[in-house]
Chain A
Amino acid sequence: MTIRDRLRGDPQILAMGGGGFTMEPDNPALDDYVLSLVKVPEPRILFLPTASGDPTAQITGFYARFARRASASHLSLFRRHGSARSLADIVLEQDAIYVGGGSMRNLLAIWRAHELDALLQEAWRRGIVLAGLSAGAMCWFAGGVTRSGGPLETIEGLGLLPGSFSVHADGEPERLPVWLAAVRGGELPGGWAADDGVGLLFRGTRMVRVVSSRPGTAALRVDAVGDELVRHRIEPELLGTAPTLGERPVPDEIRELRELRQAMRRG
Chain B
Amino acid sequence: MTTGRPPQIVAFGGGGFSMEAGNPLLDDYVLALAARERPRVCFVPTASGDADHYVVRFYRTFSTRCDTSHVSLFRRDRGDGAVEGDLEAHLLAQDVIYVGGGSVVSLLGAWRAHGLDRVLRAAWRRGVILCGLSAGSLCWFQEAVTAFHGAPTVVRGLGLLPHSNCVHYDGEPERREEYRRFVGDGVTPGYAADDGAALHFVGRELRRVVSSRPRARAFRVEPRDGEVVEQPLAVSYLGDPRLDLAVA
A-to-B contact residues, CB < 8 Å:
50-55, 77-81, 83-87, 102-103, 105-106, 108-114, 147-150
Contacts and interface: CB of A to CB of B under 8 A. Distances in A.
Range, interface on chain B? 20 to 34
28 contacts: A52-B74, A53-B49, A53-B74, A54-B49, A55-B51, A55-B52, A77-B106, A78-B48, A78-B49, A80-B148, A81-B149, A83-B150, A86-B150, A103-B73, A103-B75, A103-B76, A105-B114, A106-B110, A106-B113, A109-B109, A110-B109, A112-B109, A113-B109, A113-B110, A114-B106, A149-B76, A150-B77, A150-B84
Contacts of B106: 50, 77-78, 110, 113-114
B109 A114 contact: yes
Contacts of B85: 150
Q: Is the interface of A mostly helix, strand, loop or mixed?
A: loop
B102 A79 contact: yes
A78 B150 contact: no
> Which of B48, B50, B85, B151 has the most CB atoms of chain A within a 10 A radius of its CB?
B50
A112 B103 CA distance: 14
A106 B149 contact: no
A83 B110 CA distance: 23
A87 B74 contact: no
A154 to B, nearest CB: 15
A103 to B, nearest CB: 5
A113 to B, nearest CB: 3
Nearest 8 Cβ contacts at the A-B interface: A53-B49, A113-B109, A109-B113, A78-B49, A53-B74, A109-B109, A110-B109, A84-B150
Interface in B79-108: 84-85, 102-103, 105-106, 108
Contacts of B150: 83-86
B215 interface: no
Contacts of B74: 51-53, 102-103, 106
Interface in B18-73: 47-52, 73
Nearest to B115: A149
Q: Is the interface of B mostly helix, strand, loop or mixed?
A: loop
B184 to A, nearest CB: 22
A53 B113 contact: no
Contacts of A150: 76-77, 84-85
B112 interface: yes
B110 A110 contact: yes
Contacts of A55: 49, 51-52
Contacts of B75: 103
A109 B107 CA distance: 10
Given A109-B110, A113-B106, A114-B149, A53 B76 contact: no
B149 A87 contact: yes
A109 B112 contact: yes
Contacts of A84: 150-151
A114 B75 CA distance: 21
B173 to A, nearest CB: 15
B113 A78 contact: no
Nearest to A49: B49
B108 A113 contact: yes
A193 B73 CA distance: 26
B149 to A, nearest CB: 7
Nearest to B77: A147
Contacts of A147: 76-77
> Which of A80, A86, A113 has the most CB atoms of chain B within a 10 A radius of its CB?
A113
Contacts of A114: 105-106, 109, 149
Nearest to B53: A56
Contact of A148 (B47, B76, B105, B151): B76
A53 B51 contact: yes
A115 to B, nearest CB: 9
Contacts of A81: 149
A87 to B, nearest CB: 7
A86 B52 CA distance: 28
Contacts of A111: 109
B49 A52 contact: yes
